[in-house]
Structure 1
């Protein structure tokens, strides 16, 4: 059921205390962008600005079938649409508004005006808003299909309350396949690092595409498992073969290779009656239900062990009721990690469930007597991948400390090729390619 936007008083109040509704990213603007009302700044990254917003998914839809594990990267032809879904934990009082912003290769706003990259007026309303059904924790589910755009490049989608503050932002990429990218896994140059890191050399074949000064104007981004928090930027090719119309990137610096890390830990909370994978026990006596994950241990010194995973991502589901968007309930999930001594920095549950960020709601506390880290987060029923990560001195996530790192780990890599044609004001994405490193059979 899609509800009109004239809700009346008396809508069921949320039964979970507001203090439990953690999971937001604090609004600390690092840009000059503004929200829909012009009163609150946004960051040009994946972020949630209101603790009322939960369970954000952003994925491609092809032939009316969605792949929630697919990254929000689609061709300019847009045979595959992009779909945004999220929940709000209290009844909305007004419409949600979507705006798009074109960005450069470094995720700063481009100098383009909206009419140069959107088909119509740059303001879209989310019409599909439905209440949850049969859940202990009530919520409202939003669904929105993005409109077509005119140009390739990086985009940030901002969702705000009409006339109010921002709710969330999400990044997505539109590409044109004007050049071809050939990826090749290779061994890293360092003797000790070749057992921990993964490296890919690549060529860009530009054929008849009229590249001007490619050594200066081409920028390349490589990602691991579609993450933006640890991308590698390449601003110059190693060699330019003009006769073959080829740019060669051969990586000699070990820091240009990725840590392979480990297969992700997993927990399956989709059943309300049985303990799924990674679940030690459940307590359904209260509201919301409580789920306790199996206590983890450090894998830093263990040998690599193959296990299937979703490369750090998650899917929602309800095995009893089936309709995940509206019937999957919210649960308090407690994670625990045995550690004989405290880590050199704060420890977090880390993955797509935390937007690949070290968020305070996922921070764990250490009990020296029990030699145990614990942390609890409110999560929608689903299958989740995660790491235990330490906050390093540079503020970045260090997953290797507890997870270890192996060349043999299965990971997905993709490459985005950016080009700014002479006389233009925007970085276009003219090539895209993806490869599975160590595919599991």
Structure 2
């Protein structure tokens, strides 16, 4: 720890540009199709998971555990980094492009820290991605890129930025590296209310700092609580409800739902692993179309219905081809049409939402309401695989409403994790000093 503090004390400012939102088109396209010149024109960097180039697709960032479920592991590793963080993505088109990556160390609020590259890296902060292969026997040509993120020397938040020709960013991903300097205890609580206990899930936690020297822990420690590894609805600015100086412990147990989330329902699913035989949730296939076309079965709202239990993957996805195996280069892309029945239009725009949309309200996944058919429809270009998703309603501010169409049941299986940050006195960057996960209503052994 003393070595880490010395490195931080030597910090100096670094400049990285800030950015503004970029939107995606509503209709899927084939590579090379003409687009309006203003589309994706703003390439300024955003400090979040984002895609800046419409030809970059199917971005996956996970911990390479070596097992077939590794894609479900969020990009969070201990400071030992014995298992690397892996990034994979596709670039649509018939020609490859030189891609480079770099890391940006960020503070707890995801603004760039003032550390120099050599204070968190042992090498030059520019990494050429040399592992790329072309898609095989596909109607939508693409190149598949893969890289392992280099080891870092400090814990904290990192933004991995991949750039193409001219150093223009094409994608960015948030990564976390943590220490176990404090003891984190996290458990499921019970919302103190009436009806809410049937629709919300509350997470209580405590932080023990007995072996860690903190002068004013209630003010100096920052925490962030997430559901299913999402950033859009994370709980921030949580202050301890009890400060136990004698025990050197902070307790966080609220009574006004500050640490409670809508439990929602298990995620909807669509099996697109085969483009020859209709999988679960698929109504029609057109393998002769280019790109291939898939129409999903019409779905209905689940709000007001009783809870239905089935296994899901918490909004994630698995890229795979049933016909040819390796999904990285053998899976093809298809235009996938979603259909959602609704007796009337929702009070806001409706989107397909999940890891397939980077947990963002992207225009490509926006649905259009047909008053005569009483149905929402929309089409997006997706790679073969197994997908989880919700239908959500966008709001003017804050996270989208996933209860309007999905309902909410405290029996739902969800994952939660807690991030604990601390900035040592006299230093200029936040360290991630504790991390813990919690599976609520898990049905896995």
TM normalised by structure 1 equals 0.90
Deviations 1:386-435 (A, max 9, x none): 00011123263111100011111100000010000101101100111001
Distance 1:251 1:20 in 2: 53
- Spell out the pairing of 1:82-93 with structure 2 (5 A cutoff): 82-92=85-95
Instruction: After TM superposition, give the deviation of residue 256 of structure 1 in Å.
Output: 2.9
> Which of 197, 200, 203 lines up with 2:203 in the alignment?
200
Alpha carbons of 1:252 and 1:27: their partners in 2 closer, same or farther (altered >3 Å)? farther
Counterpart-to-counterpart distance in 1, 2:35 and 2:212: 51
C-alpha spacing 1:415/1:27, structure 2 compared with 1 (3 Å)? farther
Question: Quick one: distance in 2 between partners of 1:321 and 1:384?
Answer: 18
Please, which of 147, 151, 161 is the counterpart of residue 148 of structure 1? Answer: 151
| Alignment correspondent of 1:417 | 420
Greater Cα shift, 94-103 or 148-157? 94-103
**Residues 1:404 and 2:407 aligned together:** yes
Give deviations 1:15-52, integer Å, cap 9, x for gaps: 93545999xx9576xxxxxxxxxxx4200000000001
- Cα distance in 2 between the residues matched to 1:121 and 1:199: 44
Deviation at 1:63, TM superposition (A): 5.1
- Hey, what's the Cα distance between the residues in 2 that align with 1:395 and 1:417? 23
Q: Which residue of 2 aligns with 1:251?
A: 254
Counting only pairs closer than 5 Å after superposition, residues 11-50 of structure 1 correspond to structure 2 as: 16=30, 18-19=32-33, 26=40, 40-50=43-53
Q: Decide whether the 8 Å contact of 1:216 with 1:235 is kept in 2.
A: no
Residues 204-215 of structure 1: pairs in structure 2 closer than 5 A: 204-215=207-218
* Two-structure CA RMSD over aligned residues (Å): 1.8
CA distance in 1, matches of 2:398, 2:212: 41
The answer on whether the counterparts of 1:212 and 1:422 sit within 8 Å (CA) in structure 2 is no
Looking at structure 2, the residues matched to 225 and 18 of structure 1 have their Cα atoms a distance apart, in angstroms, of 35
Kindly tell me: are residues 195 and 53 of structure 1, through their superposed partners in 2, closer, same or farther at Cα, counting changes over 3 Å?
Answer: same
> What does the per-residue CA deviation read over 1:210-254, in whole Å, with 9 as the maximum and x for residues that have no partner?
122111110011110000110001442111212222111111222
Whether contact under 8 Å (1:410, 1:439) holds in the other structure is yes
Residue 23 of structure 2 is matched in structure 1 by none
**Structure 2 counterpart of 1:233:** 236
Out of 81, 86, 91, the position equivalent to 2:84 is 81
Structure 1 residue 324: deviation in Å? 0.6
Q: How far is 1:195 from its partner?
A: 1.1
Q: Shift in Å at residue 208 of structure 1? A: 1.1
Q: 1:128 to 1:322 in 2, by over 3 A?
A: same
Gap regions ≥5 residues in structure 1: 1-14, 29-39
Match of 2:388 in 1: 385
Distance in 2 (CA, whole Å) between partners of 1:339 and 1:378 is: 24
**1:293, CA displacement in angstroms?**
0.9
Residues 124-158 of structure 1: per-residue CA shift (max 9 Å, x gap): 11001110111111110000000000100011010
Partner of 1:170: 173
1:307 is displaced (CA, Å) by: 1.0
Structure 1, 80-89 or 157-166: larger mean CA deviation: 157-166
Unaligned runs of 5+ in 2: 1-28
Whether 2:368 is the aligned partner of 1:365: answer yes
CA contact 2:319–2:328 (8 Å) conserved in 1: yes
Cα distance in 1 for partners of 2:326, 2:440 equals: 34
2:271 aligned residue: 268
Tell me the distance in 2 between the aligned counterparts of 1:280 and 1:65.
28
Conserved in 1, the CA contact under 8 Å of 2:40 and 2:54?
Answer: no
1:278 matches 2:287: no
The equivalent of 1:181 in structure 2 is 184
Residues 218 and 235, structure 1, Cα contact 8 Å, conserved in 2: no
Is the partner of 1:193 in helix, strand or coil? helix
2:7 aligns with none
Asked whether the equivalents of residues 20 and 378 of structure 1 are also in contact (C-alpha less than 8 Å), the reply is no
Matching residue of 2:441: 438
Q: Alignment length, in residue pairs? A: 414
The answer to whether the Cα contact below 8 Å between 2:31 and 2:93 also exists between their aligned partners in 1 is no
* Residues 314-333 of structure 1, C-alpha deviations (whole Å, 9 max, x = no match): 01000110011000000110
Segment of structure 1 superposing worse, 287-296 or 87-96: 87-96
State the 1:336 CA deviation.
0.3
Against the structure 1 CA distance between its residues 263 and 64, is the aligned structure 2 distance closer, same or farther, given a 3 Å change threshold?
closer
